[in-house]
Structure 1
Amino acid sequence: MNASPRVRIHSNYDALAAAGADRLIERLAAAQQQRGEATAVLTGGNIGISILAAVAEAENRDTVDWSRVNVWWGDERFLPASSPDRNAVQAEEALLRHVDINRGRVHPFGSADEFDDVHAAAAAYAAELAQDSAPFDVLLLGVGPDAHIASLFPDMDGVLARGRSTVGVENAPKPPPQRMSLTLEAIQSADEVWMVVAGKDKAGAVGLALAGAAPVQVPAAGATGRDKTLWLIDREAAEQVPESLLVDETAEQ
């Protein structure tokens, strides 16, 4: 059964990035204490990458044994492997090159250099996921102004996909048009799902998702973890959060 959402509101963008980094370090270290390894599913976007950069700079980052962290992605742009617009390239620059990561545990989506089409790349990622038995300890997601998550956009085929872990996306409403994404079912398999959201332009999407909108129209509403669903947002993104959820407000400065 998926967990009801909890909300943590932070004073500004920088406070959100710092708090998200601290929380991620603590979660990965705790998972390693429990079973010897940890698995994180990363996201792109400004705040997602800022959290990774804050992890790299954190004094306590090495409480995590990075050589025993498995890294996956929630979605990716179907571009050449070296493109700076790829989430994996941005994560590499922000965090992965700064820690003692085991490259055999890092799992980027395939690129346009490797595959002829986006659907083949998505299928290959699904096959790779199927070979790995490690649970997703924490899965990070951003939210677009249209309430999309990963590369699951409102009223498009991707958000409707069932019975599979990945989907190839064509004609996405934001560039680039071709992408690969985890499905809602795969996202919901994570122990913890964290929505990391900053900015006034996201307030409407956050409000709709937390008010219980239908995931087909508001994909962010369908992003729930098995044990915990956590919204880490700044005050601007929180402007339309239902009052009943504001009891969890924090006061980071």
Structure 2
Amino acid sequence: MSFIDSLELVEAESVSALDTKLAEDVAELLVARAAIGDVHIAVSGGSFAQRALPEIVAVATAAGIDWARVHVWFADERFVAADSPDRSLLLVRDALATAPGFVSDHLHAVASADSAVNVHEAATRYAEVLHATVTRTHAGAPALDCILLGMGPDGHTASLFPGMLPTESECTAAVTDSPKPPSERVTLTFGTLAAADHCWIYATGSSKQEALTTVASNPSVDACPITGVRAQQSVRLYADTAAIPEDLRTATKFIQN
């Protein structure tokens, strides 16, 4: 099945309304999974970590989640110094600081550039920790409960960029020539995304319209990496009205408002 055929579109008129809807849906999933055991999610940095993640933490906390059962991973991370403001860890850690009972060791950070490893070793170490910690697997990859992704104006997601997709079959990959600075990153691979129960994509603003117009035409994954996203149960796009072209509404079978 193609990406567009499997995509669920969740639209809100404003970014704030979208953040609320995403937070409610993620919180519902987290609370249900945490009630029966450990839950593993991967998150993105950028606007997702700044706006959506604090809302998710607040809504899940109000719903009574047991934060001690939640493990948080990174869809990708910039390979920079530990205290660099470019590091997604800092925003994510700040958001989770308001989650009562969250275990600090359950925030699984990628090694930093000043930790005496190179980006390839950082990717390998992250894969090793994933395999050792996440007990469920699918097709040999760790099976996370939910991966929360962003999307760039060029259609990239995580650090999977047009024309430079990783060839590694491992669950993580090193990126050495990112077109967006910083150039070195560690990313989850398409195999890890596909092994997850859910992959939910967060895209806001008119700058995303061009990429989402391309998505509606069912392009190659190499040209528009977001179209390579698969999951075991659902692939969902959360977008505000400003981001969504009419072509995408027409092409998508399921729209949730």
Q: Distance in 2 between matches of 1:112 and 1:60?
A: 33
Task: Report what 1:137 is aligned to.
Answer: 145
Q: Distance in 2 between matches of 1:59 and 1:70?
A: 14
Do structure 1's residue 174 and structure 2's residue 183 form an aligned pair? no
Task: Report what 1:241 is aligned to.
Answer: 248
Q: Distance in 2 between matches of 1:211 and 1:153?
A: 18
Do structure 1's residue 75 and structure 2's residue 83 form an aligned pair? no
Return 5+ residue gaps in structure 2 as ranges. 137-142
Do structure 1's residue 225 and structure 2's residue 225 form an aligned pair? no
Task: Report what 1:21 is aligned to.
Answer: 23
Do structure 1's residue 9 and structure 2's residue 15 form an aligned pair? no
Q: Distance in 2 between matches of 1:220 and 1:231?
A: 10
Task: Report what 2:207 is aligned to.
Answer: 201
CA contact (8 A) 2:198 2:232 kept: yes
Residue 29 of structure 2 aligns with an amino acid whose one-letter code is R
Which runs of structure 2 are paired with 1:10-89 in the superposition (5 Å)? 10-33=12-35, 35-58=36-59, 60-89=61-90
Task: Report what 2:139 is aligned to.
Answer: none
CA contact (8 A) 1:2 1:226 kept: no
| Aligned partner (choices 139, 154, 158) of residue 150 of structure 1 | 158
Sequence identity, in percent?
Answer: 29
Do structure 1's residue 126 and structure 2's residue 127 form an aligned pair? yes
CA contact (8 A) 1:5 1:224 kept: no
CA contact (8 A) 2:8 2:254 kept: no
Q: Distance in 2 between matches of 1:234 and 1:246?
A: 18
Q: CA RMSD in A?
A: 1.9
Q: Deviations over 1:188-227 (max 9, x none)?
A: 1110000000011111212323442211111100112111
Q: Distance in 2 between matches of 1:137 and 1:38?
A: 6
Q: Distance in 2 between matches of 1:63 and 1:140?
A: 21
CA contact (8 A) 2:49 2:91 kept: no
Q: Deviations over 1:35-89 (max 9, x none)?
A: 3221111111213431111123338535211110011101000111122221111
Task: Report what 2:97 is aligned to.
Answer: 97
Residue 211 of structure 2 aligns with an amino acid whose one-letter code is A
Q: Distance in 2 between matches of 1:176 and 1:52?
A: 23
Q: 1:56 to 1:247 in 2, by over 3 A?
A: closer
TM-score, reference length from structure 1: 0.91
Do structure 1's residue 165 and structure 2's residue 153 form an aligned pair? no
Classify the secondary structure of the residue corresponding to 2:152.
coil
Classify the secondary structure of the residue corresponding to 2:83.
coil
TM-score, reference length from structure 2: 0.89
Residue 250 of structure 2 aligns with an amino acid whose one-letter code is E
Residue 159 of structure 2 aligns with an amino acid whose one-letter code is S
Displacement after TM superposition at 1:160 (Å): 3.8
Return 5+ residue gaps in structure 1 as ranges. none
